[in-house]
């Protein structure tokens, strides 16, 4: 016999409301590609897009407490590849670094403007694997996708100088506050001359040539040249930094 009485009831919706504030714990799911640090062996995941040189951190987030406790969502962070800035550095990596720093500030209650030697030391990592297991206050967004179910993503870490940070750390409920987002509007293609309306609707747009992706910065190329592990194994995490979530 199967006794299902101790099974958690099915929820009406698995989507966390857009703009929810919550304490979350992040873990990294190994993707088979090596990073630059010894502790980042087989940590990075190649992009699934054909021809892409992007390497990412595949991260899972679990809500640590509150009304949405144990709910999960996922978010990738670009580590190398893709578009580059004027200095030849991956634009996605620049964004990821800011997010990682904000996670540490949120986890440890550091003032983002604190640039003392002590604070700077706490923002130093032996490798990206040190971030696996970090718990911080997050703002969660809902991402809509045409043809697919909506899903949750990390909007951003919430910093200690924001009022919501202190409220969540005190275990208090904070109402969701969705972040306004710009909607993309695609211009309708001009009708082809001499074609009936029904044929114009089914006409295919000409295929645009795609410029080759810019080469990844030198440090990112080094990570990509490492052979992929045949079967990704969970990272044997070395003793993390003593300061993390203490």
Residue where the block lists tokens 């590609």: 33
In a domain, residue 230? The reply is: no
In total, how many domains does the chain have? 1
DSSP 8-state secondary structure symbol assigned to residue 128: G
Q: Is 27 exposed, middle or buried (0-12, 13-18, 19+ CB in 10 A)?
A: middle
What's the number of CA atoms in the CB half-sphere (13 Å) around residue 2?
A: 2
In a domain, residue 27? The reply is: yes
In a domain, residue 186? The reply is: no
Domain range spanning residue 77?
A: 20-178+213-224
State the pLDDT at residue 214: 40
Q: Which residues contact 127 (CB under 8 A, 6 or more apart)?
A: 35, 36, 37, 38, 39, 40, 43
In a domain, residue 38? The reply is: yes
Percent of all residues in the chain with a pLDDT value above 90, rounded to a whole number:
64
Stretch 158-183: mean pLDDT, rounded?
93
In a domain, residue 183? The reply is: no
In a domain, residue 13? The reply is: no
Does 237 have pLDDT greater than 80? no
Query: pLDDT tier at 177 (50, 70, 90 boundaries)?
Result: very high
Does 29 have pLDDT greater than 90? yes
Burial 210-227, CB ≥16 within 10 A → b, else e: eeeeeebbeebeebbebe
Which is more confidently placed, 216 or 194? 194
State the pLDDT at residue 239: 59
What's the number of CA atoms in the CB half-sphere (13 Å) around residue 3?
A: 2
Give the C-alpha separation, 192 to 194, whole Å.
6
In a domain, residue 6? The reply is: no
In a domain, residue 155? The reply is: yes
Residue where the block lists tokens 């006794």: 3
């Amino acid at each position: 016999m199967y006794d299902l009485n101790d099974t958690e009831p099915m929820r009406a919706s698995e989507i966390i409301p857009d703009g929810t504030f919550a304490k979350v714990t992040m873990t990294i799911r190994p993707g088979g590609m090596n990073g630059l640090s010894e502790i980042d062996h087989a940590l990075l995941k190649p992009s699934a897009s054909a021809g892409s040189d992007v390497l990412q951190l595949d991260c899972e987030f679990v809500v640590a407490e509150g009304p949405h406790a144990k709910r999960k969502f996922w978010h990738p962070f670009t580590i190398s590849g893709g578009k580059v800035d004027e200095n030849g550095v991956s634009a996605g990596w620049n964004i990821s670094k800011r997010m990682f720093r904000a996670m540490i500030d949120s986890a440890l209650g550091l003032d983002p403007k604190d640039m003392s030697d002590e604070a700077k030391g706490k923002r130093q990592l032996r490798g990206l694997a040190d971030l696996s297991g970090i718990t911080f206050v997050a703002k969660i967004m809902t991402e809509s996708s045409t043809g697919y179910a909506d899903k949750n993503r990390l909007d951003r870490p919430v910093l200690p100088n924001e009022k919501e940070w202190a409220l969540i750390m005190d275990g208090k409920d904070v109402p969701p506050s969705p972040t306004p987002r710009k909607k993309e509007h695609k211009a309708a293609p001009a009708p082809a001359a001499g074609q009936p309306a029904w044929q114009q609707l089914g006409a295919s747009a000409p295929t645009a040539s795609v410029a080759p992706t810019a080469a990844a910065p030198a440090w990112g190329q080094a990570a990509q040249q490492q052979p992929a592990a045949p079967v990704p194994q969970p990272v044997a995490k070395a003793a993390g930094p003593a300061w993390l979530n203490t």
